[in-house]
Amino acid sequence: MFVCPDCKSPMEELYCRQCQSRFPITDGIPVLLPREQRFHSAALIGDAYDEIYAKRSNVWSNQGRTPEFIQYFAALLESVSTGKVLEIGCGEGFLLAAMTASEKTAIDISAEALRKARSRTKAEFGIALAERLPFPDCTFDMVATVGVMEHFLDDREATREIWRVLRSGGHYALLIHVDLSPGQRLAVKFSEFVFPRFRPLALLQWLYGKATRSVIQPIQRLYTVSSARACLEVSGLRISKVISKESDSHAVLSGPQVVIFLAQKPVSGSVASVQDSAGRDI
pLDDT, tens digit (0-9, with 9 covering 90-100), for 141-155: 999 999 999 999 999
At residue 220, the pLDDT reads: 80
- Mean pLDDT across the chain: 88
Judged by DSSP in three states, 54 sits in: helix
Q: Would the pLDDT of 199 be above 60? A: yes
Helix (H, G, I), strand (E, B) or coil at 84: strand
Residue ranges per domain, the chain?
Answer: 28-180+214-264
Cα separation of the two ends of the chain: 23
pLDDT above 70 for 190: no
pLDDT at position 188 is: 62
Instruction: Check residue 273 and give its pLDDT.
Output: 43
Cβ pair 265, 257 in contact under 8 A: no
**How many residues belong to the chain?**
282
- Specify whether the CB–CB gap between 149 and 155 falls below 8 A: yes
Distance CA 11, CA 17 (A): 7
The β-bridge partners of 21 are 16
Measured CA to CA, the distance from residue 259 to residue 279 in angstroms comes to 29
Q: 28-180+214-264 belongs to which homologous superfamily?
A: Vaccinia Virus protein VP39 (3.40.50.150)
For residue 180, is pLDDT > 70? no
Q: pLDDT tens digit string along 25-83?
A: 999 999 999 999 999 989 889 998 999 999 888 888 877 889 999 999 999 999 999 99
What whole-number distance in Å separates Cα of residue 271 and Cα of residue 277? 18
Binning pLDDT at 50, 70 and 90, where does residue 183 land? low
Where in the chain does DSSP place strands (E)? 15-16, 21-22, 25-26, 29-30, 84-88, 103-108, 124-127, 140-146, 166-177, 238-243, 258-264
Q: What is the pLDDT of residue 275?
A: 42
Q: Would you say 183 and 156 are in contact if contact means Cβ atoms under 8 Å apart? A: no
Distance separating alpha carbons of residues 224 and 211, to the nearest angstrom: 27
Whole-model pTM: value is 0.85
- Quick check: helix, strand or coil at residue 163? helix
Q: Report the alpha-carbon distance of residue 206 to residue 213 in Å, rounded.
A: 10
DSSP codes joined into one string, 165-224 = HEEEEEEEEEEEEB---HHHHHHHHHHHHTSSS--HHHHHHHHHHHHHH---------B-
